[in-house]
C-alpha cells in the first residue's frame, strides 16, 4: 500500500524547460516609399530560431524574404519591432556598437558573391577580420582548405568559377567565428548541380563550425535539407 505521506514528500516531476530562442524577431515591420506610394514589405513578423538550427526561408518572389534576412542580420533597420541575437538587441546602442556586433557575431553570404575583384581568394576571406582589426591569415587558409580551395588561395575571382567564388564567400562568412550565418539565395546564380554541391558544403561547414544558419531560397528541394522551413507570403510568415 502506498504511503500518502511519502507521495506528498516526494520531489515533483521536473518540468521540461524549453530552450531559449537564440535569434528572435518581434513585430518587425518594414515599408518602402516609391514616389508617393508606400509599399509594406514586412507586416509584423514574429519568429524564433534556436542555437544551432538550420532554418530555410522560402516564399514567392516579392514576398519580402531578402528584406527580412537583412533586418534579422542588422543590415536594414526595421520601421517597427525588435530583433535580438543571443539576448542582445541588434539595433540597440550606438552605430559603432551595432557595427561591431555585425562584424563579430554575424556572417553573410550573398547571391552575387560580392568578392572584391582585385583581391585574391585568401585576401577576400581575410577582409572582414582586417576590418575588425584582427589578423587571420592562418584561419583564412584553414577555411579555404575546408571548402576545397586550398590550391586556389591566390587566384582572383575572375579566375574562379561561380561555384568556387561562392565557396570563397562561405569561407569569408566564417572568418570572424560568428554565431550566426545569413545566406541570401546562395545558389541563385549557379546551375542545379553546382548549387546542390554548394548547399551541401554550406550545411556541412556550418554544422562542423557549430553555427546557426538562416538561408533564403526559392528552391524548396534545397530547403528540405535544413532543420526547419519557414514560408513568407505577403510580408507575413504563414503555416
The domain spans of the chain are 53-77+91-238
Per-residue confidence at 135, pLDDT binned at 50, 70, 90? confident
pTM: 0.89
- 121 or 10, greater pLDDT: 121
State the architecture of 53-77+91-238 in CATH terms.
3-Layer(aba) Sandwich (3.40)
Span 195-205, average pLDDT: 93
pLDDT tens-digit series, residues 96-118: 999 999 999 999 999 999 999 99
3-class secondary structure per residue, 25-66: EEEEEEEEEECCEEEEEEEEEEEEECCCCEEEEECCCCCCHH
Per-residue pLDDT of 50-104, as tens digits, reads 999 999 999 998 899 999 999 999 999 999 999 999 999 999 999 999 999 999 9
Q: Beta 37-49 vs 106-109: how paired, if at all?
A: unpaired
Amino acid at each position: 500500500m502506498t504511503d500518502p505521506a511519502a507521495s506528498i514528500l516526494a520531489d515533483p516531476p521536473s518540468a521540461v524547460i524549453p530552450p531559449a530562442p537564440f535569434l528572435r524577431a518581434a513585430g518587425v515591420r518594414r515599408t518602402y516609399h516609391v514616389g508617393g506610394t508606400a509599399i509594406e514589405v514586412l507586416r509584423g513578423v514574429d519568429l524564433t530560431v534556436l542555437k544551432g538550427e538550420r532554418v530555410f526561408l522560402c516564399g514567392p518572389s516579392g514576398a519580402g524574404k531578402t528584406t527580412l534576412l537583412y533586418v534579422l542580420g542588422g543590415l536594414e533597420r526595421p520601421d517597427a519591432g525588435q530583433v535580438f541575437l543571443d539576448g542582445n538587441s541588434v539595433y540597440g546602442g550606438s552605430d559603432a556598437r551595432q557595427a561591431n556586433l555585425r562584424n563579430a557575431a554575424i556572417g553573410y553570404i550573398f547571391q552575387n558573391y560580392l568578392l572584391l575583384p582585385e583581391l585574391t581568394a585568401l585576401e577576400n576571406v581575410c577582409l572582414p577580420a582586417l576590418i575588425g582589426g584582427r589578423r587571420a591569415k592562418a584561419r583564412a587558409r584553414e577555411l579555404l582548405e575546408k571548402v576545397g580551395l586550398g590550391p586556389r588561395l591566390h587566384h582572383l575571382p575572375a579566375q574562379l568559377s561561380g561555384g568556387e567564388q561562392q565557396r570563397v564567400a562561405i569561407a569569408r562568412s566564417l572568418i570572424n567565428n560568428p554565431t550566426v550565418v545569413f545566406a541570401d539565395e546562395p545558389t541563385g546564380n549557379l546551375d542545379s548541380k553546382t548549387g546542390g554541391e554548394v548547399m551541401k558544403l554550406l550545411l556541412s561547414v556550418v554544422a562542423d563550425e557549430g553555427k546557426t544558419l538562416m538561408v533564403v531560397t526559392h528552391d524548396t528541394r534545397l530547403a528540405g535539407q535544413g532543420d526547419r522551413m519557414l514560408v513568407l507570403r505577403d510580408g507575413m510568415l504563414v503555416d
